[in-house]
Amino acid sequence: MLYVSTRGHADRKRFCEILLEGLAPDGGLYLPEHYPRIDAATLTRWRVVYETAGYADLAFEVLSLYIDDIPADDLRVMCRKTYTAAVFGTPEIVPLKKLEAGLYLQALSNGPTLAFKDMAMQLLGNLFEYELGRRSEQLNILGATSGDTGSAAEYAMRGKKGVRVFMTSPNGRMSPFQQAQMFSLLDENIHNIAVDGVFDDCQDMVKAVSNDLAFKRQYKIGTVNSINWARLLAQVVYYFAGYFQASRGADAGGGRVSFSVPSGNFGNVCAGHVARMMGLPIDQLVGATNEHDVLDEFFRTGVYRVRAGADTHETSSPSMDISKASNFERFVFDLLGRDGQQVKDLFERQLGAQGFFDLSALPAFKTARAQYGFVSGRSTHADRLQTIRDTFGRFGVIIDTHTADGLKVAREYLSAGTPMVVLETALPIKFAATIEEALGRPPERPPGFEGMEALPRKVTVMAADASLIKAYIAQHAAA
């Protein structure tokens, strides 16, 4: 399998080559040159694999269609090492919880940091260690986080050979739980840097370092952000596992299943798109946004309009507070019949010049809903509180704020006879303040997380100045 860039001007590469790379050299995102199609017999076989051998072996089946430069035995070992009940809490790894007939939550948040990003990041940690070992190379991961990404990356990379993590976050602005989670990691290869500033200041520092090509090369700087194809690929697997569970109940309907996905950078729902392109019988793919409704606006109107930084404020589902949806370009590439030149024109020239592009007149946009199953909706703070209260009142289940956005929008698209699976992207304890606001009581703390705030911490506070982080990296990195 070879990978192409969405902007059409980069060499085709194999999986392990793009694994450690971020953007393609032409500024595009990598995608496989085609999506392998799964026939009915294979789907049946994979169902048996999931139900008998388990999630790790299902992951191997999916991944091996896209990865042909890692020996199959090694890949299987990595999958089995990654997706264990010990790490993800249950033998099913991603169990469904039934709320009512035809409406489910899919638990993706029982990994080490209690958010769905563990699903992909834990695999990425093992892939990185494997590939770096094979090449005898080192990698220094530099990132900026407002919460979930940074902690998932650190828990995935802790103790991994050849990898160091330098993670910047806005000092004092993450939830107390998130701060405790990250800063209590004392591993030698993990570096927490609390920047005096906001998230954008952290991102600017990371960008400044990445733009210094000589520094970047000397210190082998890499990233783990959501445009990494390996992360997206790992996420494809749980759509299959969710489908197998939802399509066997009494309310299974005609064999199709819909998914509602709390969305920010479009990584998670793009994995659903890939699963659907492979032939998984997904009916609707519901993109649920919060107040940052870039995606909802596109699916409603055909206009993709990037927001200004000043319009990107913090909401009570903060992991979806985005000004642009980084992975959206992948879907546009497919929508435009994989015309890289046209994608380049939209994302480079039109977005650059006017801050938006408009596909509403395009025949492909008009048929996008029928062709790709995409629908969308938007949720606000008031919706979130209402959905959390309603779900607790009716089912005794406490959901987190992002999952509440997904459930609120899912209810707008319920269709009798087709199960709807809402992806649970975090556990409520991560966003306890809003749960208390909604229910007047704090969420439960899962076992193993008691007293975390009192643990010793390792964090360096730093002014928002790129030269300071460069000096810090130079001091702590292996060149």
CA 59 to CA 119: how far, in whole Å? 11
Decide if residue 319 touches ligand PLP (CB under 6 A). Answer: yes
Least gap, CB of 317 to ligand PLP (angstroms): 7
Q: Which of 10, 48, 45 is nearest to 31 (CA)?
A: 10
Which among 193-201, 237-245, 258-266, 370-378 is the span making contact with ligand PLP, rule CB under 6 A? 258-266
Min separation Cβ 463 and ligand PLP, Å: 28
Taking Cα atoms as reference points, which of 270, 289, 295, 235 lies closest to residue 372? Answer: 270
The phi-psi region of residue 411 (left if phi > 0; otherwise alpha if psi is between -120 and 50; otherwise beta) is alpha
Q: With respect to ligand PLP, which residue has the nearer C-beta, 264 or 340?
A: 264
CA atoms within 13 A of residue 121's CA, in its CB half-sphere: 29
**What is residue 211's three-state secondary structure?**
helix
- Map residues 409-448 to x or -, x wherever contact with ligand PLP holds by CB under 6 A: ----------------xx----------------------
Q: Which is nearer to ligand PLP, 49 or 427 (CB)?
A: 427
Helices 117-135 and 229-246: angle between axes, nearest 10 degrees: 140
Out of 54, 242, 264, 373, the only residue in the binding site for ligand PLP (CB under 6 A) is: 264
Q: Which is nearer to ligand PLP, 117 or 164 (CB)?
A: 117
Q: Please identify, using beta-carbon distances, which residue of 247 and 327 lies nearer to ligand PLP.
A: 327
By C-beta, is 401 or 418 nearer to ligand PLP? 401
Subset of 320-339 contacting ligand PLP (CB under 6 A): 320
Rounded Cα gap, residues 256 and 252, in angstroms = 8
Q: Residue 425 CB, nearest distance to ligand PLP (Å)?
A: 3
Closest distance to ligand PLP from the beta carbon of 445 (Å): 17
Of 63-71, 173-181, 263-271, 468-476, the segment contacting ligand PLP by CB under 6 A is: 263-271
CA distances to 11, 138, 394, 460 from 220, in Å: 21, 7, 52, 22
Residues in 369-408 at the binding interface with ligand PLP, rule: CB under 6 A: 402
φ and ψ of 342, to 5 deg: -70, -40
Rounded distance between C-alpha atoms, residue 197 and residue 202, angstroms:
7
Least Å distance between CB 444 and ligand PLP?
A: 18
Q: Does 151 bind ligand PLP (CB under 6 A)?
A: no
Q: Is 226 helix (H, G, I), strand (E, B) or coil?
A: coil
Q: Contact between 263 and ligand PLP (CB under 6 A)?
A: yes
- In the complex, the smallest distance separating the C-beta of residue 389 from ligand PLP, rounded to whole angstroms, is 19
Question: For residues 131 and 405, which CB has a smaller minimum distance to ligand PLP in the complex?
Answer: 405
Query: Could you say whether residue 50 binds ligand PLP (CB under 6 A)?
Result: no
The encoded tokens of residue 159 equal 């103790």
Nearest distance from C-beta of residue 115 to ligand PLP, angstroms: 5
- Kindly tell me which residue out of 115, 163, 409, 438 binds ligand PLP, with binding defined by CB under 6 A: 115
User: Which residues are designated catalytic?
Assistant: 117
Does residue 155 touch ligand PLP according to CB under 6 A? no
Alpha-carbon distance values, 13 to 19, 30, 141, 253 (Å): 10, 9, 22, 41
Confirm or reject binding of residue 226 to ligand PLP (CB under 6 A). yes
Which of 262, 340, 428, 443 is the binder for ligand PLP (CB under 6 A)? Answer: 262
Contact segment (CB under 6 A) with ligand PLP among 76-84, 132-140, 256-264, 365-373 equals: 256-264
Segment (H or E) for 466: helix 466-476
DSSP 69: S
- Comparison of 140 and 260: residue with beta carbon closer to ligand PLP: 260
154 φ/ψ angles, rounded to the nearest 5 degrees = -65, -40
Which residues make beta-bridge pairs with 98? 104
Residue 122: which H helix or E strand, with range? helix 117-135
In the complex, the smallest distance separating the C-beta of residue 427 from ligand PLP, rounded to whole angstroms, is 9
Radius of gyration of the chain (CA): 21
Residue 162 CB contacts under 8 Å (≥ 6 apart), including other chains: 128, 129, 132, 133, 137, 138, 139
x/- site string to ligand PLP, residues 265 to 304, per CB under 6 A? xxxx------------------------------------
Using CB under 6 A, list all residues that contact ligand PLP.
115, 117, 148, 226, 262-268, 319-320, 402, 425-426
